[in-house]
Amino acid sequence: MINRGGNGDGRERVENVSCKTWDNMRANMKAIRTSKNLTQADLGERMNRGRVFVTELENGRYCPTLALVELVANALEVPVPTLIADTDKKSSKKK
């Protein structure tokens, strides 16, 4: 992960975010959001952010800080561990 600086709003611009935790969060964030019938704009509003911010976060354009992870979890009304859990069945199966 290469940090490209931030803009002071709890997110850092990065290239090639490969951290599994953030990958999990992005996948779970979208799955939870859609299961609650929330649009990106709805979630952005709950977070006092815009739709574009949610889109960029879900697409991995930013590496969130812990404070931002907590903000997303609160906006989705789920605990942080649920948001960052590894739900990929293939990677969790033992060979």
The predicted model scores a pTM of: 0.72
List of domains in the chain: 2-85 (1.10.260.40)
Pinpoint the alpha helices (H) of 12-86: 20-35, 40-46, 51-58, 66-76, 80-84
Q: What is the pLDDT of residue 90?
A: 52
Question: What confidence score (pLDDT) does residue 13 get?
Answer: 47
Confidence band of 2 (pLDDT split at 50, 70, 90): very low
Nearest to 10 by CA among 68, 55, 57: 68
pLDDT tens, residue by residue, 36-82: 999 999 999 999 999 999 999 999 888 788 889 999 999 999 999 99
